[in-house]
Amino acid sequence: MKNLFFVVLIFLLSWTLSLTGAAQEITSDGKRLLRFPTVSDDGTVFTYANDLWLVSRIGGKARQLTSHPGAELFARLSPDGKWIAFTAQYGGDYDIYVMASGGGEQKRLTYYPGYDQVLGWTPDSKRVLFHSRRASIIHPVNKLFTIGLEGGFPEALPLPDTGLASFSPDGTRLAYNRISTEYRTWKRYRGGRQSYVSLYDLKTNRYEEIPHTDAADLSPMWHENSIYFASDRDGIMNLYRYDLASKQMKQLTSYREFDVKYPSLGGLNSPAIIYENGGYLYTFDIKTEKISKVSVRVEGDLPQTKPRAVDAANYISTFGLSPDGERAVFGARGEIFVVSSQNKEARNLTETSGANELQPVWSPDGKWIAYFSDRAGEYQLCIRASGASATEKSLTTRVSGYLYNPVWSPDSGKLLFTDSTLKFFYVDINTGKTVLIDQSRNGDIFNYQWSPDSRFVAYPKANDNLFRQIHVYSLEQKKSYPITEGNFDDRNPVYDSSGKYLYFLSGRNYRPAFFFPGRSDTDWGINYSDTIGIYAVVLSADGKSPFTPNAKNEDAAKSVRIDFENINRRIVIAPVPFGNYANLRANKNRLFYISRPPAGTDAANALPPAIRSFNFASREVETVLTGNVGGFQLNEECA
């Protein structure tokens, strides 16, 4: 019998991946991926490849202003056009720097061991406005500060929690976001942490809000007697203007594909808002309300775009195991590698520098490797023979979105996968037919598994109470059945090889324990740790618990029988202490799982993270491997 072969995330893969291709082509429309722009009467400054560049307001050839290996971000030209303030990662932390608008030596203004982000300037161009968490004590929140060109101690503004902000022309008031969500991936979010535009008078302490809906209103910019901002009130981020005198709101742009991002207002004589849309830069003229595209040519040294060799072992993202346990497949830096355990030879299976392949999995019969690829433009589920010089075959014809977590059926004829719309599918590799199994409303469906006879699929799905419930889908009946009650957080269902039991993890142990949160010697907290237990569903109505003494090991099933009536009454608990468990796996001899100490536990008194197993014969928990393991897979013939 072959030894247990665990593939863990620290597997050593010695292979050098050579990146090919020349520098990014410059199209007739100009360079893309231009970010964080700022504008004055004379020019525009933006970030490209983490460096600052200067170009005319109408576009053209850009001139590189910085070349430090650290990132330079969030540049803001002063109102008088003489200075550029920006956030830079020169000493490891992100601090505030200034330099002349035409380039030159940078001067460091802040020395905070954290993150300081430039937001703008005071109207007199003498002080830089930024936000920082430097004044937070327990809960980290951003607060507003200003600092002079000579440096020194920053001055705090009297606001408790802030995001992006802008001074009024006379410097006595602020337009700002109370909640900082500009970097959240909450597209069309309408919840309680929504951003809107607030106004604050620094002299009278008067507070008010401009009219808002439940949409996101970001990046307020104050010009004369109007507030400009970006909002997704119509589903896409566009520019809006609110007139403080007339109380009228007006939409200024009408993009339908890409959001308006990182808008910034500048220019004393010819004021304009510059922003990013779809990777390009555009200006909105305040006086004429005309939109102009800023076509930029970037012709710097750009060492990041040069072909180079990198060690792919440092970029392993996913892994899979061959059925015989002799080879492993890895997804690393957009390529698929096959590695032999005998000679440690690594072979690049895809060799596509212009495409991204990821999440490879080996078919149970050892003939195929499945993975996702964007070679055709959008991600598709693909397979290819595991041997050398195999041809790729696409199983899907998706037109948009991301795909996740392919899982082979035991008969190697079908694949499960999910997509970014929370839909759950299987596809037949012979016919190419894709079947929708289910769709979630409350989170991704993952940790699903086929039955040994490839006729059923077990999966967890979150209900409206956010507790996950185990379901089983019958391919023959084309119907899903709930297995657990939905009153607890149930996940990670796995069949045993006999097909008589479905094991799963569930958080059902709510015994509070006191612990020190770590912030005080006297402040006690309550920790609901070790909530997870291991459970089994007896699939047939006449079946017996697998945890009874002297229970016999069952051979692999040819056909799985599931009696769905009253199935939730046939759930039994394993004789394993409650803990913090994940990655449950099963065979006829043992249950395998990862055990980790719960958050907030004193490390000196907690069991170290490890792969552990419950032995059905001895009815004891055994430690298989100790260490901070991110995941593992079992060889089918493991003991």
Whether the per-residue pLDDT at 46 is higher than 60: the answer is yes
Q: What is the pLDDT of residue 269?
A: 93
Whether the per-residue pLDDT at 574 is higher than 80: the answer is yes
Q: What is the pLDDT of residue 2?
A: 39
Tell which CATH architecture fits domain 440-639.
Answer: 7 Propeller (2.130)
User: pLDDT digit string (tens) for 380-399?
Assistant: 999 999 876 778 999 999 98
Q: What is the pLDDT of residue 28?
A: 40
User: In 10 A of CB 158, how many CB atoms?
Assistant: 9
Whether the per-residue pLDDT at 581 is higher than 70: the answer is yes
Whether the per-residue pLDDT at 353 is higher than 90: the answer is no
Q: What percent of the chain has pLDDT over 90?
A: 71
Cα–Cα dist 578/9, whole Å? 26
Counted residue by residue, the chain has a size of 639
Least confident of 194-208, 225-239, 329-343: 329-343
Q: Higher confidence at residue 535 or residue 601?
A: 535
Mean pLDDT value across residues 554-567: 86
Q: What percent of the chain has pLDDT over 70?
A: 90
Which residue's entry shows tokens 């060492």?
303
Mean pLDDT value across residues 161-176: 96
Residues of the chain with CATH 2.120.10.60: 22-303
Residues of the chain with CATH 2.130.10.10: 440-639
Mean pLDDT value across residues 453-481: 97
Whether the per-residue pLDDT at 13 is higher than 50: the answer is no
User: What would the two tokens of residue 538 be?
Assistant: 């007896």
Whether the per-residue pLDDT at 348 is higher than 60: the answer is yes
Which residues have CB under 8 Å from 395's CB, separation 6+? 380, 381, 382, 383, 415, 427, 429, 432, 434
pTM: 0.72
Mean pLDDT value across residues 116-141: 92
Whether the per-residue pLDDT at 310 is higher than 90: the answer is no
Q: What is the pLDDT of residue 234?
A: 93
Strand order in the sheet with 357-362: 357-362, 368-373, 380-385, 393-394
Least confident of 7-11, 58-62, 374-378, 434-438: 7-11
Q: What is the pLDDT of residue 601?
A: 53
Whether the per-residue pLDDT at 169 is higher than 50: the answer is yes
Average pLDDT, the chain: 89
Whether the per-residue pLDDT at 19 is higher than 60: the answer is no
Least confident of 1-10, 215-224, 453-462: 1-10
Residue 506 and residue 470 in contact, taking contact as beta carbons nearer than 8 Å: no
Mean pLDDT value across residues 515-532: 64
Mean pLDDT value across residues 340-347: 82
Q: Concatenated DSSP letters for 300-366?
A: S--GGGS--EEEGGGGEEEEEE-TTSSEEEEEETTEEEEEETTT--EEES---TTS-EEEEEE-TTS
Q: What is the pLDDT of residue 182?
A: 80
Q: Which CATH class is domain 22-303?
A: mainly beta
Mean pLDDT value across residues 541-547: 94
User: pLDDT digit string (tens) for 260-274?
Assistant: 999 999 999 999 999
Whether the per-residue pLDDT at 161 is higher than 50: the answer is yes
Strands (E), 463-556: 468-474, 479-482, 489-495, 501-507, 513-515, 525-527, 532-538
Residue 327 and residue 339 in contact, taking contact as beta carbons nearer than 8 Å: yes
Whether the per-residue pLDDT at 140 is higher than 90: the answer is no
Q: What is the pLDDT of residue 22?
A: 33
Let me know if domain 1-21+309-437 sits in CATH 2.120.10.30: yes
User: What would the two tokens of residue 383 be?
Assistant: 């397979």
Residues of the chain with CATH 2.120.10.30: 1-21+309-437
Which residues have CB under 8 Å from 556's CB, separation 6+? 452, 497, 498, 499, 588
